Amino acid sequence: MELLATTAANVLVLSSLYILVALGFAFLFNMLGVLNLAHGAIYMVGGYVGFALAIAFGMNVWLALLLTTVIMGAFGAVLERLCFRPFAGDFNRTVMICVAVTVALQTAVNIIAGTRTLALPSFAEGGLHIGIAYVSYERIVTFGIGAVLLLATMLFVNRTKWGQQMQAISQNVEAAVLQGINVRAISGIASAIGCALAAIAGCLVGAYLNLGPFMGDLMLVKVLMLVILAGAGSTSGLFITGFALGIIDGIVPVVANGAISDGAAVIIVVVLLLLKPQGFFGHEA
Amino acid sequence: MKYGKLTCLAFVVVVLVLAFVVLPVATGYAQTKSSEATLDIGLLFGLTGFISSRDLPDYNETLIAADVLNERGGVTVKGQKYKFRMVAEDTKSTMDGVASAANRLAFDKKVKFVIGPLDFFAPAANQVLNPAKVLRVLHWSGISPGEVDASTPYTFLGGNATVANALTVVKYLKKAYPNVKKIAFVTPDDGSVPYLFPAIKGLLESNGITVVGDAIAFANEAQDYSPISAKINAVKEADAAAQFNGHLPQICGIVKGLRQLGNTKPYYAAVPTAMSEIVPIIGKTAAKDVITNSISYDDPSIPPIAKEICDKTVAKYGKEYSLYLNGAQSLYALKVAIEAAQSFDTTVVKTKWESMTKMDTLFGPGNVGGKKTFGINHVVTHPQVVQVLKNGVVTSAGWFDTGMIP
């Protein structure tokens, strides 16, 4: 029973982290049509920026998280202006620039911080007994921040003017321009939000697990799986697919031993895609 | 115009002086420098990619060890001293990378002695290095086929690794935790589990420690170890858990996860990962009852050559650097074997080395064994240090003699 309770807690935390990172990716993919393959690297850099602020500058870890969000949000806006906007509509060049950004970021982190495994200080020490399980405050905080941000993001997209403008752009760019929507400004905001969400997830993972210069690679694979499973244009679908992937990644390593657990998750995703190639919640292309 | 002609003439004179005076002198100097006798040692280490967190410190320490040994005369064969010249290739933490790097070492750079790569990467280089009779010393091995066994006649294990460290697990637990009779067996799934688990389980049980259930194996490149910690925590019968292979992110992820679940049982990571790297990642709350086989840089009982390597490593990279010294010990073992054989012929060195039962190591008198466990008498063992973390304080638990692996 304790194993069941612990696994349930793991699933919730993993799901919230996956959805957080995937939402950031989806912002750019759904709103701007940009397949941001540098998203994993941005998630990784966010974690390292948080580490630098918390450790090198001795900041309180919560303040470091806030500042990291602002810094990486600004980075996202710059990235959109310099890397995505010039190649808007050109898929091949966008992919190349994303790969270049990824390599540049990973190399920079390698040179500055080395390949050593690092970690952010804990956001909350200790834990409490819930029934027969012991749940650390770290897990509760990670899940809590993830849940709050997800809710805030959905409210932003559905209830604010900027959010509705983003939805308009994702449906029809030309029509949005004709409606007087400043596509460039909204694109910058979408990119900033996407990168900020990735950076927050990077900091949370950096405290919950650890930091490494290649941590973004695996997360990018998870994000791509999530977005593809959810389907094109479906942001709300990410919640369900993120939860599903969290269940797979939380449970399979417990019931299956060894390296098979990684492969099993991918196989399940492939099977699901064979059943529904367009994803489960997206609209038809 | 007159000035222009003079300028040209001056230019020609300068060029002629450079061509016939300066360059020959410089070249002669360079030739003099390069005539110093050297022995090329190839290094196959993962300098990039997921294994670099483990391999890069070991690689850096191996370079320092080469300098230290060179200052002490390098290797002497038939009265002539040879300095070690390290020829490194990055395996990129992939099998393809290992094969490519091995190819470059063996056929482009014509290296006859190689250190590395790390355990489960080793078989990827076999088809290149074995036919070329390149004598290879693994700096770490997990006992899988194709690492160190009868199919790899030119491969040796240069120092303590998974099996030898299992013996220190037994000796240390008996001394410090006499109530620990049952352990949970934890290991990365790098292909070695079907071989490592029975071998180490047999060693443990013949020394009075029972392994509860099956090996708890995890994907080598996993990032989230919470499910693994949950599985280990669920083994209520175990008095402790021991991990017999793996590297820093894995150890930290598992220990952190266990302590977050309220599990405070001893966790022995039988690998040379330093507590100074573990503690900042797991945090002070989790920093209790963790044991590793790492050297403490300020341990006064480290033998002189190893001490010098440690001091230079700390001076260059800081006190938190993990002191693996696996590559350094492999280099030292190679030096001892070459000097015993008094030859650079790899077949002669191999034959001499595998006939030895004792050999000097960086850490004191060592042994050569492994015929029963590995199928070949190619495994060097030596005294092994144990480092302990209790309530946030790191101490050295002293050196343990692993003895010879049967």
pLDDT in tens, B137-193: 999 998 889 999 999 999 999 999 999 998 899 899 999 999 999 999 999 988 888
Query: Would B367 be classed as within a structural domain?
Result: yes
Q: Which of A168-182, A270-284, B166-180, B299-313 shows the lowest per-residue confidence on average (mean pLDDT)?
A: A270-284
pTM for the whole structure:
0.81
Best to test chain B binding among A6, A125, A139, A215 (most B CBs inside 10 Å): A6
B234 near B178, Cβ under 8 Å? no
Query: Would B100 be classed as within a structural domain?
Result: yes
Return the pLDDT at B23.
56
Region B27-33: mean pLDDT is 44
pLDDT in tens, B64-111: 999 999 999 999 999 999 999 999 999 999 999 999 999 999 999 999
B43 near B115, Cβ under 8 Å? yes
In this complex, the residue of A119, A136, A254 whose CB is nearest that of residue B231 is: A254
Give the list of residues 6+ apart from residue A154 with CB closer than 8 angstroms, or none.
Answer: A235, A236
For residues A260 and B296, give the distance between their C-alpha atoms in angstroms, rounded to a whole number: 36
Nearest-CA distance from B44 to chain A in Å?
17
Pair B250, B396 in one domain: yes
In this complex, the residue of A2, A134, A209 whose CB is nearest that of residue B223 is: A209
Query: Would B24 be classed as within a structural domain?
Result: no
Nearest-CA distance from A260 to chain B in Å?
7
Query: Would B358 be classed as within a structural domain?
Result: yes
Query: Would B318 be classed as within a structural domain?
Result: no
- Order the strands of the B38-45 sheet from edge to edge: B75-77, B80-90, B38-45, B113-115, B135-138, B155-157, B379-381, B364-369, B358-361
In this complex, the residue of B189, B261, B280 whose CB is nearest that of residue A6 is: B261
Tokens of B274: 């330093």
* Inter-chain touch A6–B225, beta carbons under 8 Å: no
In this complex, the residue of A7, A133, A258 whose CB is nearest that of residue B189 is: A258
Nearest CA in chain B to A120: B281
* Inter-chain touch A10–B233, beta carbons under 8 Å: no
* Inter-chain touch A257–B281, beta carbons under 8 Å: no
Pair B82, B113 in one domain: yes
* Inter-chain touch B227–A10, beta carbons under 8 Å: yes
Nearest-CA distance from B190 to chain A in Å?
8
Return the pLDDT at A282.
64
* Inter-chain touch B231–A253, beta carbons under 8 Å: yes
Residues of B in contact with A205 (CB under 8 A): 223
Pair B350, B225 in one domain: no
Return the pLDDT at B306.
95
Nearest one of A21, A81, A80, A63 to A45, comparing CA atoms: A21
* Inter-chain touch A118–B280, beta carbons under 8 Å: yes
β partners of residue B82 = B75
pLDDT surpassing 90 at residue B368: yes
Nearest one of B248, B230, B222 to A261, comparing CA atoms: B222
Query: Would B31 be classed as within a structural domain?
Result: no
Residues of A in contact with B48 (CB under 8 A): 110, 115
Query: Would B6 be classed as within a structural domain?
Result: no
Pair B128, B203 in one domain: no
Pair B153, B167 in one domain: no
pLDDT surpassing 70 at residue B290: yes
The residue segments making up the domain with residue B173 are 163-300+388-400
- Percent of chain A scored above 70 by pLDDT? 97
Region A241-245: mean pLDDT is 88
Pair B65, B212 in one domain: no
Pair B350, B295 in one domain: no
In this complex, the residue of A10, A110, A125 whose CB is nearest that of residue B285 is: A125
Pair B286, B342 in one domain: no
**3-state secondary structure at position B296:** coil
* Inter-chain touch A6–B50, beta carbons under 8 Å: no
Pair B207, B283 in one domain: yes
Q: Using 50, 70 and 90 to split pLDDT, how confident is the model at A269? A: confident
pLDDT surpassing 50 at residue B230: yes
Return the pLDDT at B129.
94
* Inter-chain touch A250–B226, beta carbons under 8 Å: yes
Region B333-340: mean pLDDT is 98
Q: Which of A194-198, A247-251, A271-275 shows the lowest per-residue confidence on average (mean pLDDT)?
A: A271-275
What φ, ψ does residue A258 adopt, rounded to 5°? 80, -155
Task: Tell me the average pLDDT of chain B.
Answer: 90
Any chain A CB within 8 A of the CB of B274? Answer: no
For residues A164 and A170, give the distance between their C-alpha atoms in angstroms, rounded to a whole number: 10
Structural domains in chain B (count): 2
Nearest one of A166, A190, A180 to A85, comparing CA atoms: A190
CATH of the domain at B187: 3.40.50.2300
pLDDT surpassing 50 at residue B58: yes
Return the pLDDT at B213.
93
Report the amino acid identity of residue A87: F
Any chain A CB within 8 A of the CB of B234? Answer: yes
B258 near B184, Cβ under 8 Å? no
Any chain A CB within 8 A of the CB of B94? Answer: no
Secondary structure element (H or E) that encloses residue B197, with its range: helix B193-206
Q: What is the residue-wise DSSP string for chain A?
A: -HHHHHHHHHHHHHHHHHHHHHHHHHHHHHHH----TTHHHHHHHHHHHHHIIIIIS---HHHHHHHHHHHHHHHHHHHIIIIIGGGTT-HHHHHHHHHHHHHHHHHHHHHHH-S--B-PPPSS--EEEETTEEEEHHHHHHHHHHHHHHHHHHHHHHHSHHHHHHHHHHH-HHHHHHTT--HHHHHHHHHHHHHHHHHHHHHHHHHHS-B-TTHHHHHHHHHHHHHHHH-TT-STHHHHHHHHHHHHHHHHHHHS-BTHHHHHHHHHHHHHHHH-TT-SSSPP-
Residues of B in contact with A262 (CB under 8 A): 219, 221-222
**Number of CB pairs < 8 Å for A and B?**
118
pLDDT in tens, A126-158: 888 777 777 888 888 888 998 898 889 888 888
For residues A177 and A187, give the distance between their C-alpha atoms in angstroms, rounded to a whole number: 12
SS (H, E, C) B214-257: CCEEEECCCCCCHHHHHHHHCCCCCCEEEECCCCHHHHHHHHHH
Query: Would B305 be classed as within a structural domain?
Result: no
Region A189-201: mean pLDDT is 93
Pair B200, B78 in one domain: no
**3-state secondary structure at position B304:** helix
Pair B139, B179 in one domain: no
In this complex, the residue of B226, B228, B281 whose CB is nearest that of residue A117 is: B281
Nearest-CA distance from A261 to chain B in Å?
7
* Inter-chain touch A210–B193, beta carbons under 8 Å: no
Residues 277-306 of B with CB under 8 A from A: 277, 280-283, 285
A125 near A208, Cβ under 8 Å? no
* Inter-chain touch B282–A212, beta carbons under 8 Å: no
In this complex, the residue of B219, B223, B226 whose CB is nearest that of residue A258 is: B219
For residues A104 and A110, give the distance between their C-alpha atoms in angstroms, rounded to a whole number: 10
Nearest-CA distance from B226 to chain A in Å?
7
Nearest-CA distance from A247 to chain B in Å?
11
A contact set with B (CB within 8 A): 2-3, 6-7, 10, 13-14, 110, 114-119, 121-122, 125-127, 129, 133-134, 136, 138-139, 205, 209-210, 212, 214-215, 218-219, 249-254, 257-262
Pair B48, B128 in one domain: yes
Q: Using 50, 70 and 90 to split pLDDT, how confident is the model at B334? A: very high
